[in-house]
Structure 1
């Protein structure tokens, strides 16, 4: 309304100025009565008002669509985080229920068996103990993820080569099973316990998914003079290209056949590894293909 009034006033002012300029320059005013001028001004004002209505309508529609798209884009990360949290809760509940259901079923069957021997009872207890250990490991992994989600880590100067050697001593693997090639000793700023857990996860993952007589290779080097590189490779069944981007998702298993011989994993290890790398401002990547070598590589900034 304000724009319309201003425009109408401008039209009237310009008409008066035009009349005055003609009178001054030529000494007369065109023989047109005031009613015609008023009608023309009214028609012009009407055309302007219609134009303003269309313009306002277009602005309203465009603004509404733009606001919707902007709001959708703004809310997308929140929605994705909510969906990821829902999947995580659902998967965690499933993983917790599975060993509990196994224990419950074994105990119920044993209690119904009136002829159960001492050996049978020991077998059930040993089986239940394995399930308890699984629950304990799962709880520890979930607790580690929860702690890392708080993004609070005490940092010191850490030597990746020393951490790698310390982790490998825990596994006590024969030389023919694993090799370590070090071309550079890199110092990084990070949490020693978290980085040790990172290396342990990658070594454990390579051991799980490779034949017992295959070779695991670790390379410690530098990239572009300012990044510490840790690469571990192993042969095995490999991972399909479409499944490769998801191996760092929580509770994701690339292939059920890969876990048949090892039922103690929960699909949390690589998710935890990725979180540790991200908290150290690094990058974790993987390359693989079916029946080919699988490589996991992380890069961390070097202390200059």
Structure 2
């Protein structure tokens, strides 16, 4: 077992270019061997069939070719031997062959009497047979017949020319095939070396990025083209887009940190405001440090994965084209996952900087109805219902339409992702005393424990790593509910989670209603 593992380890250590060239040469060699063997086989059969045809045509002319005397000096074709038996005694009467070309040891064996000839005729079943000479390597094609006068005869033709032709063909195939393999190895090595050069650059760039240099970019092998057509082109574009977003996220966080420190330093000039400002700055700095630490941890994992798959690709872990495409697809998936993570990080960074929202009157029933339709389109087999409490009024709030849609969408997506297919999902709307609108997203799934409910809105928190895995195999970022909490807070609202009666979880969002005018209800 250890020997097998050591052999596999040595194979994995062979560079990819050598594996590719060796694979191509092995396939071509196999094809050449099959072609050579097939050619020799069909040529041999064709030549033997021609000899059989000549033997049958010559069988009718034996009487004129073979004299009645028993002599070896008869003038015959140089590659023939003819044997006749006596019609009276049944013994071999005589045979004839080219004595200048063949010796007695080169002649084929034949029976000593007519009975043996008859047995050979029946055994051959109308088709000549191949026999080897008595004391040499010469092969003959023998054909036994019975003459009209009852005399038995055998006629044979040697296969020396056939064997020589097949042997020459084998040597030609060997020389030509060897030349082709040498030429193919030279050309293939150059093509593979050129094709793998972009992967080497990607590996070096990934190593530099993992070391902290976020300014590095992967060389684009299809620079100038609007849409890449190759796997390497798509991979390079995806990696560069991801790196740009990562750099922008860290730049935004650095700017946010600088602004917070400046606010802290300026607030110290006023005794009353200094303590509050200092506390805010400390909280902001703690969130920022935690944010940077969590972001670095989350980004390091896919970056390391990308580097690892690129290393496997370079070392030749994938020799077949479908395996190569699979490795590149895994790298692209990790890059896409990092892109989604960076977009969520940028949104949280903007919310932490308290940038103003674009507030307009927004009707909650319209947003909830759109969310239900979108959820039913995503999961048509799920039971998703919308309930609006009677006499709730128009339920209009002052909010950023796009961000509020994101709040409801994240809650519905969270319910779809973390509940079994048979669980029901309900979106409820109602008005509460005090001028608040309540949006509830409830499910009948497994629910949350007390500890999970307490931490569910924390950034990068996952209640259950197994339950956060989506159908496509990727895990969630752990930022969906954190974004919900941040957006609701930016709208001067609140969000909480409670147990659904009968089992499950209910996420409840409260937002201040927009004061109604005289014509608001018309």
State the TM-score, normalized to the length of structure 2. 0.42
The residue that corresponds to 2:296 in the other structure is 93
Give the superposition deviation at 1:213: 2.3
C-alpha contact 2:368 2:427 (8 A) present in aligned 1: no
The residue that corresponds to 1:266 in the other structure is 477
Give the superposition deviation at 1:225: 6.0
The residue that corresponds to 1:299 in the other structure is 510
Cα 1:146/1:227, change in 2 over 3 Å: same
The residue that corresponds to 1:182 in the other structure is 388
Cα 1:196/1:73, change in 2 over 3 Å: closer
Q: Does the alignment pair 1:280 with 2:473? A: no
Task: Give SS of 1:229's match.
Answer: strand
2-structure distance, mates of 1:245, 1:148: 22
Cα 1:100/1:115, change in 2 over 3 Å: closer
2-structure distance, mates of 1:165, 1:129: 35
C-alpha contact 1:237 1:292 (8 A) present in aligned 2: yes
The residue that corresponds to 2:149 in the other structure is none
Q: Does the alignment pair 1:144 with 2:347? A: yes
The residue that corresponds to 2:87 in the other structure is none
1-structure distance, mates of 2:351, 2:315: 45
The residue that corresponds to 2:421 in the other structure is 212
The residue that corresponds to 1:117 in the other structure is 320
Give the superposition deviation at 1:280: 0.9
Cα 1:95/1:114, change in 2 over 3 Å: closer
Give the superposition deviation at 1:114: 6.4
Q: Does the alignment pair 1:155 with 2:359? A: yes
Give the superposition deviation at 1:258: 2.5
Task: Give SS of 1:258's match.
Answer: coil
Give the superposition deviation at 1:72: 9.0
Larger radius of gyration: 2
1-structure distance, mates of 2:447, 2:480: 17
Give the superposition deviation at 1:101: 1.0
Q: Does the alignment pair 1:169 with 2:373? A: yes
Task: Give SS of 1:256's match.
Answer: coil
1-structure distance, mates of 2:309, 2:381: 41
C-alpha contact 2:469 2:475 (8 A) present in aligned 1: no
Give the superposition deviation at 1:87: 1.4
The residue that corresponds to 1:104 in the other structure is 307
C-alpha contact 2:493 2:509 (8 A) present in aligned 1: yes
Give the superposition deviation at 1:218: 1.0
1-structure distance, mates of 2:424, 2:503: 13
C-alpha contact 1:241 1:288 (8 A) present in aligned 2: no
C-alpha contact 1:88 1:251 (8 A) present in aligned 2: no
> Greater share of helix residues, 1 or 2?
1
Cα 1:241/1:300, change in 2 over 3 Å: same
Cα 1:126/1:82, change in 2 over 3 Å: same
Give the superposition deviation at 1:97: 1.1
C-alpha contact 1:179 1:218 (8 A) present in aligned 2: yes
C-alpha contact 1:244 1:288 (8 A) present in aligned 2: no
Cα 1:152/1:75, change in 2 over 3 Å: closer
2-structure distance, mates of 1:106, 1:250: 28
2-structure distance, mates of 1:225, 1:80: 31
The residue that corresponds to 2:29 in the other structure is none
Runs of 4+ in structure 1 off by over 6 angstroms are 71-74
Deviation larger for 161-170 or 214-223:
161-170
The residue that corresponds to 2:338 in the other structure is 135
C-alpha contact 1:284 1:299 (8 A) present in aligned 2: yes
2-structure distance, mates of 1:287, 1:117: 52
Return 5+ residue gaps in structure 1 as ranges. 1-70
Task: Give SS of 2:387's match.
Answer: strand
The residue that corresponds to 1:196 in the other structure is 405
Deviation larger for 77-86 or 87-96:
77-86
Aligned length: 233
Q: Deviations over 1:251-295 (max 9, x none)?
A: 111233332456331111111111111111111001149x93111
2-structure distance, mates of 1:146, 1:114: 40
